[in-house]
């Protein structure tokens, strides 16, 4: 409407008239918005890394795992009749991208000079060719002092019997390279110790903290180490097209598997290795299935995100509060300076609510423009940082960020939220001055000019 246009015109022109003030305040708003965007991008980047690393190494989007108890006092993280179970799972999830079964183990790994403990993932490359896309080979210099910048080894060779793919940090600690042999030693579920010798076929780039404690072997190695029957595995990993559907899919799977006659453990959002103890103490034998989501399996890591988000929230909150005071103060000055104008408008017949809008729209416009500029700057920084592929020099920071390069990630809805939040708070800060302006008595206002 024409009146709204007029109100906006007055607002824009007043912002322009006081452009030094607008620039100062708008600049501050933009900087805080940029900071907000960057913190969100950092948190999202870490979350992305975490999900990427976890879903590559230790979990699917949804997992069908389980415990097998031969006697009531033991517990093995095993599922029997894997192929039948896998078929049922595949059939009942239309959202599925692919389904794989993995063996799980925990071994003491020794080289000639060193030793460490690691989770073992027993993979069948026929089932999950995609794994090779996410496992990037590391140049030799990543793990060997004076090593060459060329990549040795080939992840494809995991198809070979008794092969292993380890990660750069592990190779560094074990002082080994491609072609070297490692001994894997496990305590089998029945209490016997077993060893298998394996050859390193590739050294992969680290994928966050989790890759310090994981390595890949062909599934046959797990079978041999634990003396398992052929159709027995550790877990079925379900990968979806949309990771956000995980909870829905898990709920559906529980129903389906229950109907199929499987015994299900009560849902407990914790990683499988945290459940050993409790299951061992429970009084039952045979097979029970345990369904989890990716987030349950890395529940011990997500505190990092929570911590980062909390700190970011606090920081942004303080900055927004400071700016809110600034906006309020500026609006006060504006209202006082324009008392005569307001009184005139009121005398001429402008309603209180329109006077209120006059000031509110000024603040809202300033907030909106500044937030848009801020978001734009933030997005540019994100793009630049990602393009530069900055390597993080400190190990601890790498571990926390779950990546060896700085990875920022920005989602469109986060951009909208940032603009919305900043505009909202700017506008909110103008409420009180605007209210005061609207309630000026026209007679007082006119008198000021005489």
Partner 1 sequence: MRDSGSEDLIVKMSQVIKEYPLGKLKVQALRGIDLNISRGEFTTIAGPSGSGKTTVLNLIGCVDVPSSGDVQIAGQSTTNLSDKELTHLRLMKIGFIFQSFNLVPVLDVFQNVELPLLLQGELGASERAVRVKEIIARVGLSDQLRQRPNELSGGQRQRVAIARALVTNPALVLADEPTANLDSVTGNTIIELMKELNATQKTTFIFSTHDPKVMRQASRVIRLVDGEIVLDNDGIEGVVEATDGRGEVGS
**Contact positions vs partner 1 (CB under 8 A):** 1-3, 6, 9-10, 13-14, 17, 340-341, 343-352, 354, 441-443, 446-447, 449-450
Contact 415, 443 (CB under 8 A): no
DSSP letter string over 23-89? HHHHHHHHHHHHHHHHHHHHHHHHHHHHHHHHHHHT--SEEEEEEEESSTT--B--BSSHHHHHHHH
Q: How far is CA 425 from CA 23, 57, 150, 324, 326, in A?
A: 18, 42, 53, 7, 12
- Token pair belonging to 286: 């045979």
Residue 145 or 450 having the CB closest to partner 1: 450
Q: CA–CA separation, 219 vs 237, rounded Å?
A: 14
The nearest distance, CB 415 to partner 1, in angstroms, is 32
Residue 10 or 28 having the CB closest to partner 1: 10
The nearest distance, CB 351 to partner 1, in angstroms, is 5
369-394 burial string, b = 16+ CB within 10 Å, else e? bbbbbbbebbbebbeebbeeeeebee
The nearest distance, CB 443 to partner 1, in angstroms, is 4
DSSP letter string over 108-143? EEE-SS-EEEEEEEEE-TTT-TTHHHH-PBPBGGGT
Tell me the residue length of the chain: 450
Contact 147, 170 (CB under 8 A): no
Residue 155 or 350 having the CB closest to partner 1: 350
Contact 240, 62 (CB under 8 A): yes
Nearest Cα to Cα of residue 439 among 366, 368, 359, 381: 359
Residue 42 or 345 having the CB closest to partner 1: 345
Nearest Cα to Cα of residue 156 among 120, 131, 127: 131
Residue 115 or 347 having the CB closest to partner 1: 347
Instruction: Give Cβ neighbours of residue 326 (< 8 Å, ≥ 6 apart).
Output: 25, 28
The nearest distance, CB 16 to partner 1, in angstroms, is 8
Residue 252 or 354 having the CB closest to partner 1: 354
Residue 345 or 371 having the CB closest to partner 1: 345
Other beta carbons within 10 Å of 147: 17
The nearest distance, CB 328 to partner 1, in angstroms, is 22
The nearest distance, CB 27 to partner 1, in angstroms, is 22
The nearest distance, CB 441 to partner 1, in angstroms, is 8
- Token pair belonging to 151: 């990549």
The nearest distance, CB 338 to partner 1, in angstroms, is 9
Q: 57: number of CA atoms within 13 Å, CB side?
A: 28
- Token pair belonging to 78: 């095993």
Q: To 5 degrees, how large is the angle CA 69–CA 73–CA 77?
A: 40
The nearest distance, CB 47 to partner 1, in angstroms, is 47
Place of tokens 């007029």: 6
The nearest distance, CB 364 to partner 1, in angstroms, is 17
The nearest distance, CB 366 to partner 1, in angstroms, is 15
Residue 164 or 438 having the CB closest to partner 1: 438
Residue 209 or 440 having the CB closest to partner 1: 440
Q: How far is CA 69 from CA 1, 221, 244, 264, in A?
A: 74, 22, 33, 14
Residue 274 or 443 having the CB closest to partner 1: 443
Residue 177 or 442 having the CB closest to partner 1: 442
DSSP-H helix ranges across 302-351: 303-337, 339-348
């Amino acid at each position: 409407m024409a009146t709204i246009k007029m109100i906006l015109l007055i607002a824009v022109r007043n912002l322009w008239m006081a452009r030094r003030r607008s620039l100062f305040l708008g600049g501050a708003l933009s900087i805080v918005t940029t900071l907000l965007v960057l913190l969100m991008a950092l948190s999202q980047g870490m979350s992305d890394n975490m999900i990427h690393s976890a879903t590559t190494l230790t979990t699917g989007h949804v997992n069908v795992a389980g415990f097998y108890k031969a006697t009531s006092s033991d517990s093995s993280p095993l599922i029997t009749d894997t192929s039948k179970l896998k078929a049922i799972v595949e059939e009942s999830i239309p959202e599925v991208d692919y389904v794989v079964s993995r063996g799980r183990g925990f071994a003491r790994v020794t080289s000639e000079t060193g030793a460490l403990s690691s989770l073992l993932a027993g993979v069948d490359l026929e089932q999950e060719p995609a794994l090779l896309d996410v496992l990037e080979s590391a140049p030799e210099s990543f793990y060997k002092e004076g090593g060459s910048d060329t990549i040795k080894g080939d992840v494809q060779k995991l198809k070979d019997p008794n092969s292993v793919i380890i990660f750069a940090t592990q190779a560094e600690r074990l002082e080994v390279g491609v072609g070297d042999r490692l001994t894997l030693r496990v305590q089998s579920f029945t209490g016997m110790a077993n060893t298998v010798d394996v050859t390193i076929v590739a050294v992969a780039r680290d994928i966050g903290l989790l890759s310090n404690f994981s390595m890949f072997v062909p599934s046959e190695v797990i079978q041999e180490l634990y003396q398992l029957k052929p159709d027995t595995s550790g877990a079925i990993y379900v990968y979806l097209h949309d990771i956000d559907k995980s909870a829905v899919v898990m709920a559906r799977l529980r129903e389906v598997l229950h109907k199929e006659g499987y015994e299900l453990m009560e849902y407990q959002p914790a990683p499988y290795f945290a459940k050993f103890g409790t299951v061992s103490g429970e009084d039952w034998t045979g097979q029970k299935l345990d369904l989890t989501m990716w987030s349950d399996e890395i529940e011990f890591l997500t505190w990092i995100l929570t911590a980062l988000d909390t700190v970011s929230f606090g920081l942004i909150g303080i900055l927004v509060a400071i700016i809110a005071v600034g906006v309020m103060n500026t609006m006060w000055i504006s209202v006082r300076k324009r008392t005569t104008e307001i009184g005139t408008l009121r005398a001429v017949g402008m309603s209180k609510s329109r006077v209120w809008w006059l000031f509110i729209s000024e603040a809202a416009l300033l907030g909106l423009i500044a937030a848009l500029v801020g978001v734009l700057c933030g997005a540019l920084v994100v793009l630049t940082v990602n393009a530069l592929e900055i390597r993080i020099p400190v190990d601890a920071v790498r571990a926390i960020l779950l990546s060896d390069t700085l990875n920022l990630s920005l989602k469109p809805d986060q951009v909208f939220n940032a603009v919305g939040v900043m505009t909202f708070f700017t506008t909110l800060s103008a409420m009180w001055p605007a209210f005061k302006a609207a309630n000026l008595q026209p007679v007082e206002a006119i008198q000021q000019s005489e």
